[in-house]
Amino acid sequence: DRLEVNWGRGSHGTVSADGQVISLSLDRNSGSGFRSRDTYLYARIDLQIKLAPGNSAGTVTTCYFLSEGSWANHDEIDLEFLGNSTGEPYTLHTNVYINGTGSKEQQFHLWFDPTADFHTYSIVWTPLHLLLWNAEDWATQGGRVKTDWSLAPFVAQYRNFTATTSSPGAGGGYYDQELDATAQQAMKWARDKYMVYNYCADSARFPYGSPPECYMP
Ligand SMILES: *[C@@H]1O[C@H](CO)[C@@H](O)[C@H](O)[C@H]1NC(C)=O
Ligand SMILES: *[C@@H]1O[C@H](CO)[C@@H](O)[C@H](O)[C@H]1NC(C)=O
Ligand SMILES: *[C@@H]1O[C@H](CO)[C@@H](O)[C@H](O)[C@H]1NC(C)=O
């Protein structure tokens, strides 16, 4: 199979009998994760995720692409869903690491309930790992709301992992398709309406000017 549960297999990370849905569970003892066995040079990844419902404060459900090679010089693209108290919105936290350095955080509140159904999330990078882990100290309102472990296990479900490449090749496939106009408009709409943090606009953090990519069109 193209996916393997590589953390908490059997106990916390399980695959449905029909092989279609991977459930990742978190309790006091362990989190869980799965990853793609394939690596990609460039690819579009689409994945359907249904997040843990109810009081999920302190949990983090993630989907990330990680480059091979040394950790000190790695590249990474992160989507992290920060859990919240019942009735409060999950925050989608994104970051990009280049050559080992991150600090490019953006955050969005979601305009739909990500726990009510599966939604498709997509990113482009190489290669892919997925994890659900506990980060109660920083994830929920700066650590003020702690995970309520009496509600464990917290379970997120994943299905229909799809990697799209235009041409396979040594060391992974290639993909260079730009977002079309409709997708670009949707992206702008979400950024305008639902972005609640943007490192580029954080002048307290960058008193001498935002990083150079912030000025690119
Ligand atoms: C939790 O909800 C509060 C209130 O709406 C919001 O301000 C906060 O950003 C949310 N925190 C996370 C981690 O999603
Ligand atoms: C990446 O970081 C290393 C230091 O860890 C540095 O020597 C190297 O020049 C950097 N590479 C690029 C492309 O910036
Ligand atoms: C699986 O994902 C692909 C790519 O996002 C999508 O085209 C397809 O409709 C999905 N299949 C199901 C059963 O949801």
Ligand 1 pocket residue status of 136, Cβ below 6 Å: no
Q: Which residue has the higher pLDDT, 16 or 170?
A: 16
Contact 60, 81 (CB under 8 A): yes
Identify the pLDDT of residue 27: 94
The one-letter code for the residue type at 70 is S
Q: Across the chain, where does the E strand assignment appear?
A: 3-7, 13-15, 21-26, 32-36, 44-50, 59-66, 76-82, 91-97, 106-109, 119-124, 128-134, 154-164, 195-198
Identify the pLDDT of residue 127: 40
Q: What is the pLDDT of residues 40-97, one digit of tens each?
A: 877 888 899 999 999 999 999 998 888 888 989 998 889 999 999 999 999 999 999 9
Catalytic residue, chosen from 4, 76, 105, 213, is 76
Identify the pLDDT of residue 126: 43
pLDDT at residue 20 is higher than 80: yes
pLDDT at residue 32 is higher than 90: yes
Ligand 1 pocket residue status of 91, Cβ below 6 Å: yes
Cis peptide before 168 (omega within 30 of 0): no
Identify the pLDDT of residue 137: 54
Break the chain into its structural domains and give their ranges: 3-215
Q: Quick check: is 76 catalytic?
A: yes
The CATH class given to the 3-215 domain equals mainly beta
pLDDT at residue 36 is higher than 80: yes
Q: What is the pLDDT of residues 118-176, one digit of tens each?
A: 999 987 664 475 555 555 555 555 566 788 889 999 999 999 999 888 766 555 677 77
Write the residue with the smallest CA distance to atom 2 of ligand 1. 88
Ligand 1 pocket residue status of 140, Cβ below 6 Å: yes
Q: Cα 9 to chain center, whole Å?
A: 20
Q: Quick check: is 80 catalytic?
A: yes
Collapsing DSSP to helix, strand or coil, 149 comes out as helix
Taking the C-alpha atoms of residue 146 and residue 136, their distance in angstroms, rounded to an integer, is 6
pLDDT at residue 104 is higher than 70: yes
